[in-house]
Chain A
Amino acid sequence: RKEVEQDPGPFNVPEGATVAFNCTYSNSASQSFFWYRQDCRKEPKLLMSVYSSGNEDGRFTAQLNRASQYISLLIRDSKLSDSATYLCVVDDGGSYIPTFGRGTSLIVHP
């Protein structure tokens, strides 16, 4: 069974903090990796794709570790508006069937 595992949290951090989430995946053939953000009772929205070389978008940095089969998301200088659930998404390595993790909840407080 192909699994995507995330620590559900919640991660409760003050504004300005740096916080990191990991996500492990079981399918070594997976090729595409993403982080999505989901606000309460809303639809998922793509935050960023995760590339082998790592990638950065403003305060957000994503990394892929194929050897250990995990991806990470680092958020610097947390804002109140970063409070959400962060979903890890991994493809199945063959045809594109995405597997979502259950998400990590982040709460940023003043």
Chain B
Amino acid sequence: EPEVTQTPSHQVTQMGQEVILRCVPISNHLYFYWYRQILGQKVEFLVSFYNNEISEKSEIFDDQFSVERPDGSNFTLKIRSTKLEDSAMYFCASQSRGQETQYFGPGTRLLVL
């Protein structure tokens, strides 16, 4: 069964550094998402992406964040100048046209020290 993959599984970084989280969505999917989940808290929507542009974004997704689909397979989330409170699990998800189901990747656990 096809699945969403994410790399790295864990990332430790120093405050102020930039990180890039990578996702490979399911190959025929057209809609892509990033979510985050701070430990012990709820899953929060960050951004959705379709047709090579952002379609929706939440209040959390400010200028510190950016997304890109640099080629036909990868979907990345860049976090600039990381803060302690960026420590969380970041999930990528993808969805095909006409389907309700979003398929989540296993997540990247980011720790900012």
Contacts and interface: CB of A to CB of B under 8 A. Distances in A.
B39 to A, nearest CB: 9
B105 A43 contact: yes
Contact of A98 (B41, B45, B105, B106): B45
Contacts of A103: 42
A95 interface: yes
Nearest to A102: B42
Interface residues of A, number: 20
B106 A42 contact: yes
A10 to B, nearest CB: 14
Contacts of B105: 43
Interface of B: 41-45, 48, 55-56, 58, 89, 91, 100-102, 104-107
The 3 closest A-B pairs by CB, nearest first: A43-B104, A100-B43, A102-B42
